[in-house]
Structure 1
Amino acid sequence: MKSSNGRKPPRLVARFVAISWRDLAVSFGPILLISVAAIWFAVRLIQPAPPNTLTITTGPQGSSFWNAAQKYKTILARNGITLNVLTSKGSAENLQRLSDPHSKVDVGFVQDGITPGQPINGLMSLGSVAYVPLALFYHGPTVTRLSEFKGQRLAIGAEGSGTRELALALLKANGIEPDGTTKLLPLSGDEAAQALVSGKVDAAFLTGDSAQPPVMYKLTRTPNVQFYNFTQAEAYARRFPYLTQIHIPMGAFDFGKNLPAAPIQMVAPTEELVARDSLHPALSDLLIEAAREVHGKANLLQHAGEFPAPLAHDFPISDDAARYYKSGKSFLYRMLPFWIASLADRLLVVVVPLVVILIPALRLVPSLYAWRVKSRIYRWYGALIAIERGALSETSAEERQSLIERLDTIEESVNGLKMPLAYADQFYVLREHIGFVRTRLTQGRDHPYDAAHSHVAQNESDDAGKPSASPPQTA
């Protein structure tokens, strides 16, 4: 069946759906891509999970720092971390291992004052953990200056030990060089103490375990052996920034026998817990906690809670250690078990950028979705306006027929649209406007508006040619 103008009636094939998944996907797509990019960037920056194994280099087996590392091992095991403890000759070897990236050592005890002068790249300090007092015992009359030992036999510690490095530095400051007349023997610890007692050496430099109060007490009771009093201790501490002046009060070793019989001044470098700069922040916190538990007690040389402390001399304090000393563990590690806190800490790096991006972006999705749907309707209005302008101008019958065919094409396309039901009203408004333009085209000059317009124009033209019926006005 055809209409009166010979045109086949339009067939409505439009599909109405609850939601346009395609438009929703296109609207949400850019936001999804941005979110994926944000996640990828966050994952690239995120800290990996902390390793469950660490290796520490300490000192000779049975030494104080080897024993301290054994306590570290027990403490770290509470959080599922295995600590491998390596023995060494001392601080110098520990530093050598830490400086070698192929040694697979993560952390170690290093005595201040043994570095080659320039900072070593890749190493950082987790803080100082103890004083390493230097005790000097000698035979003969009282000595007040180190320069008086020139030409004698001195036990200055084994190769690779911090004792040797410190003794060489102090002797050099007093004009005693290794190649001079003074015999510098590589004896340390009990071996050096025995050599002193037997008279094989004239003086022995003892640090660390060999200079602990029980050892010093034993040597002070040995006949013809004196404890050297660093009367210039304050000057040494100023000359060598890594040294601290230590005051041993009278009677500190034995109240009953009043040993020492007079106050004694000593100097002591600090021992730092040094790690590679690749150490995971969570493990940094665990190591400092272990150091606080092991080294934080009071003794003859330190007050309770004095160590560990951010007293870095030869190595810079790590950012993670500085943060820990300032504010302690983070909230997650205070409230949750170690491994759960570590996982949550890393997930936050991903979640935070997602929240920052998605919350504002999701608010834009409805607007983008509405714009996508309406754009399929709005794009036909431009074509309708062009056809209507053509209808208003002087056109021939063939030109009007061409405009009608263009309009038919628009109507067929509109009738085949797929639209969400929520926008059905706009669909029908568009069809109504198409019908309005079609009426303008098919009625042509007989359109009521056009006829009225022509009638008014004709009357105005006729009135212009007639004389005015009003009498002339007289003054």
Structure 2
Amino acid sequence: MRRILRDLKILILTNLWLVPVIAGLVGALFYFVAPPPPMHARMATGAEGGGYHAFAERLQAELALQGFSLELVPSAGSADNLSKLGSGEVELALVQSGQELTLSDEARDKLSGLGVMYREPLWLFLGNKVKFERLADLLKLRLAIGSPGSGTQAVTAALFAANQIDQPQYPESWQQLGGSRAADALIDGKLDAAFFVGPAENALIQRLAAEPKVHLVSLRRTEAYLARLPYLSQLQVGEGMLNMAHNTPDHKIVTLGPVATLVAGKEFHPSLTPLILEAAKTVLKNGSLLDPAGSYPAKPPLSLNTLSEADYYYDKGLPILQRYLPFRIASLADRYIILAIPLLVLLFPLFKAIGPIYQWRIRARIYRWYKHLREIDQQLYKGQLDSDIGAEIERLEKLEDELARVEVPLSYSNELYELHMHLRYMIERLIAYKRRTTTAAKVG
């Protein structure tokens, strides 16, 4: 056991040169590796109490379980959300599909779609005494078209434009109202009709669905709208789907609606994509009244750029390490593994050189003695030791004592013993040579 430990000690001491080399390479690894993604982001959510804000609160709670802080920033709606993304005020925002088309190509290229979170139906509620067939019938009514800059106003404006009714043609009876203000005015009889955009579970939509003074109507010619406004989708709402107790709607209806898209700005760290999307998937796993379970998140609209991390998530799911490890640990491991590969490529030839270098170093401890033996042998051949032969013999005997203290691994002992033999052989030669020269001197 002692010999094994001694051999191991020799091996370590022989290859100490590897320590600064490996330390330098590992230092370079930590220097060049990309910093971990931030565990904080800001998200524009629309008005408090709206559908966007409700979804953002659920997403915030889910991300908190992973140690990620999502700061919610209220806004005036989709248009305001896009503005906040463009200015860098927030990294994430929910945006109504179609709103991105209002941006310039340059501004849109700075945004990335992470995915569709859910569908946003357009609801048209009317007073019970109001009759409705098509959108043109609304021109003579007191109508709420959504608050300025809201997603509701953006959708209604697109529908009216498809009917060649542009904003300058809007009658004075139309009001730019939305949310609870429009709902209150409709229920109080101050409005004849009002548009709303939001999920079926939204508190405002549920309030109107339970209100006996208003009723929900179906939109006609939906195929014609879809052909002109491809960012919208058609939704069928079955009888009683919104409220079974009040049987709202009282018959099957068809409506249109955009989709709520989660959009990232230029300040968003792409590595956070799988974390955000997986949290959204958990939030949306049970579906909704209109969206089947497991339908969302889905790939974003083609009008937006898509991050490669989002494409990977939709095609293959979470990155392998994030399936088994917390996000923070998996993210760090991903970065170090990428740079560890070239590090291992560099280390492989270094470790491969350990054997030959170790062999050379051990043999060097033995072979350096042969240099002196060679010099003596040459001096004997040239006859240059006559005056100093006794001192040389004494020197070799001291070297023999020193050689006895030289440690080498067991596998190299045979070479050490051969050196002992050669050293003794040279001493015997010198002694014999001294005797001959002494005898020759006496005879002479």
Over aligned residue pairs, what C-alpha RMSD do you find? Answer: 5.0
1:288 paired residue among 254, 277, 284 = 277
Q: What's the counterpart of residue 128 of structure 1?
A: 116
Amino acid at match of 1:58: T
Per-residue deviation, 1:66: 1.9
Structure 2 residue matching 1:57: 3-state secondary structure:
strand
**Aligned pair in 2 of structure 1 residues 201, 380: CA closer, same or farther (>3 Å)?**
same
Q: What's the counterpart of residue 96 of structure 1?
A: 83
Q: Deviations over 1:103-145 (max 9, x none)?
A: 2x3433221111115363554333222111112356865443x
**Aligned pair in 2 of structure 1 residues 239, 378: CA closer, same or farther (>3 Å)?**
farther
Q: Deviations over 1:35-67 (max 9, x none)?
A: 63245235532552652x443321212222322
1:70 paired residue among 46, 57, 61 = 57
Q: Deviations over 1:58-85 (max 9, x none)?
A: 1212222322333333333334444333
Amino acid at match of 2:98: G
Asked whether the equivalents of residues 114 and 300 of structure 2 are also in contact (C-alpha less than 8 Å), the reply is: no
Q: Does 1:189 align with 2:179?
A: yes
Q: TM-score if structure 2 supplies the norm length? A: 0.70
Asked whether the equivalents of residues 234 and 256 of structure 2 are also in contact (C-alpha less than 8 Å), the reply is: yes
Per-residue deviation, 1:271: 0.6
Amino acid at match of 1:110: V
Per-residue deviation, 1:370: 1.5
Q: Deviations over 1:328-377 (max 9, x none)?
A: 445655555x3xx6336525754754667657744542331222333466
Gaps of 5+ in 1: 1-16, 447-475
Structure 2 residue matching 1:58: 3-state secondary structure:
strand
Asked whether the equivalents of residues 37 and 272 of structure 2 are also in contact (C-alpha less than 8 Å), the reply is: no
Q: How does 1:11-410 map to 2 (within 5 A)?
A: 27-30=15-18, 32-34=20-22, 36-38=24-26, 40-41=28-29, 44-48=32-36, 50-51=38-39, 53-101=40-88, 103=89, 105-115=90-100, 116=103, 118=105, 120-121=108-109, 123-137=111-125, 142-144=132-134, 146=135, 155-180=144-169, 182=171, 185-195=175-185, 204-208=194-198, 213-214=205-206, 217=209, 221-222=213-214, 227-231=217-221, 233-250=222-239, 252-253=241-242, 260=249, 262-276=251-265, 279=268, 284-329=273-318, 333-335=322-324, 338=326, 342-343=328-329, 346-347=332-333, 349-350=335-336, 353=341, 361-362=350-351, 364-375=353-364
CA distance in 1, matches of 2:312, 2:294: 18
CA distance in 1, matches of 2:288, 2:376: 100
**Aligned pair in 2 of structure 1 residues 316, 348: CA closer, same or farther (>3 Å)?**
closer
CA distance in 2, matches of 1:388, 1:310: 86
Asked whether the equivalents of residues 251 and 257 of structure 1 are also in contact (C-alpha less than 8 Å), the reply is: yes
CA distance in 2, matches of 1:94, 1:84: 14
Gaps of 5+ in 2: 437-444
Structure 1 residue matching 2:296: 3-state secondary structure:
coil
1:421 paired residue among 383, 389, 408 = 408
CA distance in 2, matches of 1:289, 1:68: 14
Per-residue deviation, 1:254: 6.2
Per-residue deviation, 1:420: 3.8
**Aligned pair in 2 of structure 1 residues 256, 275: CA closer, same or farther (>3 Å)?**
closer
**Aligned pair in 2 of structure 1 residues 329, 312: CA closer, same or farther (>3 Å)?**
same
**Aligned pair in 2 of structure 1 residues 254, 426: CA closer, same or farther (>3 Å)?**
closer
Bigger shift: 377-386 or 59-68? 377-386
CA distance in 2, matches of 1:389, 1:424: 27
Amino acid at match of 1:191: R
Q: Deviations over 1:160-215 (max 9, x none)?
A: 32222223333333333334455564211233345556676665332126986535
Amino acid at match of 1:272: T
Bigger CA radius of gyration = 1
Q: Deviations over 1:359-413 (max 9, x none)?
A: 7744542331222333466688799999989999xx8x78x99xx9xx99x989x
**Aligned pair in 2 of structure 1 residues 234, 38: CA closer, same or farther (>3 Å)?**
farther
CA distance in 2, matches of 1:318, 1:74: 24
CA distance in 2, matches of 1:46, 1:411: 62
Aligned residues: 416
Amino acid at match of 2:83: Q
Structure 2 residue matching 1:127: 3-state secondary structure:
strand
CA distance in 2, matches of 1:411, 1:240: 102
CA distance in 2, matches of 1:437, 1:142: 122
CA distance in 2, matches of 1:243, 1:87: 25
Per-residue deviation, 1:229: 1.3
